[in-house]
C-alpha cells in the first residue's frame, strides 16, 4: 500500500536544534555525559506561585474547556501587564490565549496568507518561522541582515522588499539567535509600513541592555506574539498569547475553536499568578542570565570565537566559527561526538548564519565552564587554538 505524503508536509525541514538534542540524548543513553547549550530551555524551576496556582485550580475542578479566546481574567491580566510595562491600552477582546506561541503562529499565518503570499523576515532568524509560513501556503521573503546590526533588518531594506503579495513583516526583538534588540527608530519606521508587523516578543522580560519596547507602542495594527515560556521558566506549561487587530479576531477565534478548542484551563490560572505575583522571580532569573552572558562572552573570546555584537537580551550568543569550518552542521555534530557539548549550528537559522554556532546560556555557570573547558581542550588538540 502506498501512503502519500503531502507536498506541504514534505516542505517542512528538520529543526536542527532538536536534531542535535536528540542525538545528544542517544549519547547519554550510551553512558556519555552531555552538556546542553543548544536549546532555549531555562534551567530554573517554575516560580512557586505558578505551581501553587495550578494545583489549587485543579483541586477546584478547573479541568474543563474554557472560552476559546481564553479566560476573561487572564486576558485582562495580559492587558494590564501591557499598560504597566509599555503604557499601551490593549482590549482583552483582541487577545487570544493558546497552548504556546507556536500554534498561534500557525493560526496567524492561516488567517492572513493565501497561496503565494509573502512574509518578509530576517536571515538569520528563528529556525521554525519559514516552516510556519510555507505550511500555510506562503513564501518566506528573506532579507539578508548584517552582523554589525545584530542581524536585525534595516527598515529601508525591508521597505524595498514590500510587494503586492506582501502580507506582513516578521520581527523578533530580543532576537533568536543573536539576542539583539531592534533600535527604537527602526521599530518606529517599520510600524509606518503599509503592511502589518508581526512581532515575536517572547523574550520580553529578558533584556539586559537598551530599551525593550513593544511594537504596540507605535501602532495598534500589529500582531504581537507573547507568552510565559522564557521569562517565567514555563516552557512545558505551553501557554502563550496573540494580540491582533480587531478585524482579524473573529477569524482567529474560529480557527482556534476548530483546531485547538481552548488553552488548558488550570494552566491559564497559573498564568494569572505569573503575571500578578512573579515579577521578583523574573528579575532574579534575569540577573542570573546577565551574569552568565558576561561569563560566556569571556569564555568564547578565549576559545577564539568572535562575537561582533554583544547580545542585549534573550539567552543566546551567536559566535563566528567560520575560521574553523564553514559547515556549521558538520561542526556541531563533530563537537557533540568528540566533546559531549551540544550546540546549535548557525545554518538552522538561515544562510546568513552559516559558519556560526549558537550558544545558549540558559544553563549554570558551572555547566558553561565545563562545556568551554572541553571545547578548549578539543580546539587545542585540533590546532584551532594557540597553545599560548
pLDDT at residue 11 greater than cutoff 90: no
Residue pLDDT, tens place only, 109-153: 999 999 999 999 999 999 999 999 999 999 999 999 999 999 999
Please tell me the distance from the alpha carbon of residue 105 to that of residue 235, in angstroms, as a whole number: 16
Residues 6+ apart with CB under 8 A from 337: 27
Please tell me the distance from the alpha carbon of residue 272 to that of residue 263, in angstroms, as a whole number: 13
pLDDT at residue 97 greater than cutoff 60: yes
Q: Evaluate whether 75 touches 69 at the Cβ level (below 8 Å).
A: yes
Of all residues in the chain, what percent carry a pLDDT higher than 90? 95
Q: Evaluate whether 167 touches 113 at the Cβ level (below 8 Å).
A: yes
Average pLDDT over residues 204-232: 96
> What band does 385 get if pLDDT is binned at 50, 70 and 90?
confident
Please tell me the distance from the alpha carbon of residue 362 to that of residue 40, in angstroms, as a whole number: 6
Residue pLDDT, tens place only, 26-59: 999 999 999 999 988 999 999 999 999 999 999 9
Burial of 370 per CB tally in 10 Å (0-12, 13-18, 19+): middle
C-alpha cell at 224: 504581537
Strand 316-320's sheet: what is its strand order?
A: 316-320, 356-360, 344-345
Please tell me the distance from the alpha carbon of residue 74 to that of residue 97, in angstroms, as a whole number: 8
Q: What angle do CA 359, 309, 287 make, to 5 degrees?
A: 60
- pLDDT at position 313 is 97
Q: Evaluate whether 20 touches 38 at the Cβ level (below 8 Å).
A: yes
What DSSP line would sit under 201-239, residue for residue?
Answer: -TTTT-B-SS----GGGT-SS-EEEEESTTTTT-GGG--
Please tell me the distance from the alpha carbon of residue 70 to that of residue 255, in angstroms, as a whole number: 14
User: b/e for 308-338, b at 16 or more Cβ within 10 A?
Assistant: ebebbbbbbbbbbbbebbeebbebbbebbee
Cα dihedral 133→135→139→143 (10° resolution): 40
Taking residue 39's Cβ as centre, other Cβ atoms within 10 Å add up to 18
Residue in the structure block whose three cell numbers are 564553514: 326
Please tell me the distance from the alpha carbon of residue 303 to that of residue 264, in angstroms, as a whole number: 45
pLDDT at residue 387 greater than cutoff 60: no
DSSP 92: G
> What band does 388 get if pLDDT is binned at 50, 70 and 90?
very low
Whether the ω angle into residue 76 lies within 30 degrees of 0, i.e. cis, is: no
- The beta-strand segments (E) located in 234-350 are 240-243, 316-320, 341-342, 344-345
Please tell me the distance from the alpha carbon of residue 275 to that of residue 321, in angstroms, as a whole number: 40
> What band does 386 get if pLDDT is binned at 50, 70 and 90?
low
C-alpha cell at 203: 523574550
What DSSP line would sit under 18-74, residue for residue?
Answer: HHHHHHHHHHHHTT---EE-SS----SPPPHHHHHHHHHHHHTT--S---TT--HHH
Q: Evaluate whether 122 touches 151 at the Cβ level (below 8 Å).
A: yes
Domains (range + CATH), the chain:
7-45+280-381 (3.90.1150.10), 48-278 (3.40.640.10)
Amino acid at each position: 500500500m502506498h501512503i502519500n505524503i503531502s507536498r506541504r508536509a514534505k516542505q517542512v525541514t528538520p529543526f536542527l536544534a532538536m536534531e542535535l538534542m536528540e542525538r545528544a540524548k542517544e549519547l547519554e543513553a550510551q553512558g556519555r555525559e552531555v552538556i546542553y547549550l543548544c536549546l532555549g530551555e531555562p534551567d530554573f524551576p517554575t516560580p512557586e506561585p505558578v505551581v501553587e496556582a495550578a494545583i489549587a485550580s485543579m483541586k477546584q475542578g478547573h479541568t474543563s474547556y474554557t472560552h476559546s479566546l481564553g479566560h476573561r481574567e487572564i486576558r485582562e491580566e495580559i492587558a494590564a501587564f501591557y499598560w504597566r510595562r509599555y503604557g499601551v491600552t490593549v482590549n482583552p477582546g483582541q487577545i487570544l490565549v493558546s497552548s504556546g506561541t507556536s500554534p498561534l503562529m500557525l493560526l496567524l499565518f492561516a488567517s492572513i496568507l493565501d497561496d503565494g503570499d509573502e512574509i518578509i523576515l530576517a536571515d538569520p532568524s528563528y529556525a521554525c518561522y519559514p516552516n510556519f509560513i510555507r505550511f500555510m501556503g506562503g513564501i518566506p521573503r528573506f532579507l539578508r541582515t548584517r552582523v554589525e546590526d545584530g542581524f536585525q533588518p534595516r527598515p529601508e531594506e525591508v521597505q524595498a522588499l514590500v510587494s503586492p503579495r506582501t502580507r506582513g513583516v516578521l520581527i523578533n526583538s530580543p532576537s533568536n539567535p543573536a539576542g539583539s534588540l531592534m533600535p527604537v527608530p527602526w521599530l518606529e519606521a517599520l510600524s509606518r509600513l503599509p503592511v502589518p508587523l508581526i512581532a515575536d516578543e517572547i523574550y520580553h522580560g529578558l533584556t539586559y541592555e537598551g530599551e525593550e519596547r513593544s511594537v504596540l507602542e507605535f501602532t495598534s495594527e500589529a500582531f504581537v506574539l507573547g507568552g510565559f515560556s522564557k521569562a517565567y521558566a514555563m516552557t512545558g506549561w505551553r501557554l502563550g498569547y496573540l494580540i491582533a487587530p480587531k478585524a482579524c479576531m473573529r477569524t482567529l477565534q474560529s480557527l482556534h475553536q476548530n483546531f485547538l478548542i481552548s488553552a488548558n484551563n488550570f494552566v491559564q490560572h497559573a498564568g494569572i499568578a505569573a503575571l500578578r505575583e512573579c515579577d521578583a522571580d523574573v528579575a532574579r532569573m534575569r540577573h542570573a542570565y546577565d551574569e552568565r552572558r558576561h561569563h560566556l562572552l569571556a569564555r568564547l573570546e578565549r576559545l577564539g570565537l568572535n562575537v561582533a555584537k554583544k547580545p542585549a537580551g534573550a539567552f543566546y550568543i551567536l559566535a563566528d566559527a567560520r575560521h574553523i569550518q564553514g559547515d556549521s552542521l558538520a561542526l556541531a555534530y563533530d563537537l557533540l561526538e568528540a566533546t559531549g557539548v551540544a550546540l546549535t549550528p548557525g545554518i538552522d537559522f538561515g544562510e546568513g548564519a552559516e559558519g556560526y554556532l549558537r550558544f545558549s546560556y540558559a544553563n549554570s555557570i558551572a555547566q558553561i565552564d565545563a562545556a568551554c573547558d572541553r571545547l578548549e581542550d578539543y580546539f587545542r588538540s585540533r590546532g584551532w587554538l594557540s597553545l599560548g
